[in-house]
Amino acid sequence: MADDIAKAERQIRLLERKLRRSEESRVNLEKAKDRFDSLYTTLLADLNEQKALLADKNRTLEALSAKLSKYLSPQVYQSIFTGKQDASLVTRRKKLTIFFSDIQDFTRTTEDLQAEDLTFILNDYFTEMSKLALEHGATIDKFIGDAMLMFFGDPESKGTEEDARACVRMAVAMQRRMRRLQAKWNAMGYERPFRMRIGVNTGYCNVGNFGSPDRMDYTIIGGEVNLTARLQTAADADGILLSFETYVLVRDTVDAEEREPILAKGIRSEVRPFTVTSIFADEQEREQVLRVEDHGVAIRLDLAKLTDDSRSRALAALERAAERLRRGG
C-alpha cells in the first residue's frame, strides 16, 4: 500500500513537472508570437514606407522626365529612354531631308514690338509649327532665334523618298498655317505679321551627338545643312524652295517651277532650286492637276487652265503617244 502511494506521488510530481514545462513552453510560445507579430508589423510599416518613398521618387522622375522631354525631340527622347541610343559621342553618316526656315526681315518686322508682344508672337508661331512638325514626324533639331532646323530620316526613317515627301508636306502645311496665323495677328492689331521662308534639301549629313562627354547636343552637320540654309535665304516670303535632289523625290506629289541657279558658299557647282507653286491651292484646285512622273515619263496637265484648243491638242498628243506606246516604239 505504501509502495502504491509512493508510486502515485512520483507520477504526480512527474505530471506537475511536465505541466510546468508545458506552461513555460506556452509562455515562451506566446512571447515568440508577440515578438513575431511585432516584427511583422514593423516590417509591414517599413514596406509601406518604402513603397511610399518609391512612389514619390517615381512621381519625381516622371515630372523630371516630362520636363526633359520638352528639351528633346520625341524621337530622340524615346530612343534614349528605351535604350536604343546611348548618351555617348557617336555620330553616323545618313541621307536626310533637311528643313530650314526663318522669318523674312525679322529685325525690321519686330522693331516696333514691345518685348511682351514679341514673346507672345514668337511662342505662338513656334507652338503651331512644332505641332505640325510632330504630326509629320520631323526631328526638331533646334530653334535659332526666329529660325527652325528640323530633319527627317533619323533616328527613325521611312525611306529616303517618303522622308522627303513628309518634309515637303510639312512645309506646305506650315505655310498654310502661317496664313491663318497672319490673319489672327492682323486682327489683334499687329501691322506686320511674320512671313516665313522655307528651304528643303536632301543629302548626306553627319548626325548624332556632338560636344563633350559632359555636355552634348544631338544635331546634324555638313555641307547639305549649309545648302538648306542658303535655299531658305533665297526663298520667297511665304514660299518653299527645294533643291533638285528633293524635287526629284517629290515631283509626283507637288507642283514646282525651276528657278535660276544659285551659288552657295562652300558648294562648287551651281544649285538648281525649285519653288513650290501649289502651296495655297485648295483640294478642288489640286484635283484639276493630272500629274504622271516616272522613269522616262513626265506628264502634267492643268485641266482648269486648258482652253478648247489646247484641250484638243493635248488629247491628240496623248492619243499619238498612247499609240506609239502600244506599238512599243
Instruction: Tell me what pLDDT residue 291 has.
Output: 57
Cell numbers given for 102? 526663318
Which position has the higher pLDDT, 79 or 252?
252
> What's the pLDDT band for 87 if we cut at 50, 70, 90?
low
Q: What is the pLDDT of residue 59?
A: 81
Give yes or no for a contact between 167 and 194, defined as CB atoms under 8 angstroms apart: no
Residues near 217 by beta carbon (within 8 Å), at least 6 away in sequence: 209, 210, 211
Nearest to 219 by CA among 130, 265, 155: 155
More confident call, 20 vs 181: 181
pLDDT (mean) for 238-264 = 91
Over residues 123-138, the pLDDT tens digits come to 999 999 999 999 999 9
Instruction: For the chain, give the mean pLDDT.
Output: 83
- Confidence (pLDDT) at 323: 75
Q: What was the pLDDT predicted at 18?
A: 72
Q: Give the Cβ contact number of residue 265 at 10 Å.
A: 9
Q: Which tops the pLDDT comparison, 202 or 326?
A: 202
- Take residue 181 and report the three cell numbers written for it: 496665323
284-313 burial string, b = 16+ CB within 10 Å, else e?
eeeeeeeeeeeeeeeeebeeeeeeeeeeee
Residues 6+ apart with CB under 8 A from 88: 209, 213
At residue 297 the predicted structure's pLDDT band, cuts being 50, 70 and 90, is low
pLDDT in tens, 180-191: 999 999 888 888
Residue 80 confidence (pLDDT) above 80: no
Residue 200 predicted with pLDDT over 70: yes
Q: pLDDT per residue over 136-170, tens digit each?
A: 999 999 999 899 999 999 888 999 999 999 999 99
Stretch among 12-26, 102-116, 117-131 having the lowest mean pLDDT: 12-26
Q: Look at 149 and 20; give whichever has higher pLDDT.
A: 149
pLDDT classification of 100: cutoffs 50, 70, 90: very high
pLDDT at 327 over 60: yes
Alpha carbon of 227 to those of 63, 267, 319: distances in Å?
39, 8, 42
Least confident range of 11-25, 98-112, 176-190, 228-242: 11-25
Average pLDDT for 321-329? 73
The predicted pLDDT at position 147 comes to 95
Q: What is the pLDDT of residue 50?
A: 85
| Rounded average pLDDT over 252-270 | 82
Mean pLDDT along residues 75-96: 74
pLDDT at 262 over 70: yes
pLDDT tier at 90, thresholds 50, 70, 90 = confident
Segments in the chain forming alpha helices (H): 2-69, 74-81, 106-110, 115-136, 160-187, 223-234, 244-250, 283-287, 308-327
Res. 196 pLDDT band, cuts 50 70 90: very high
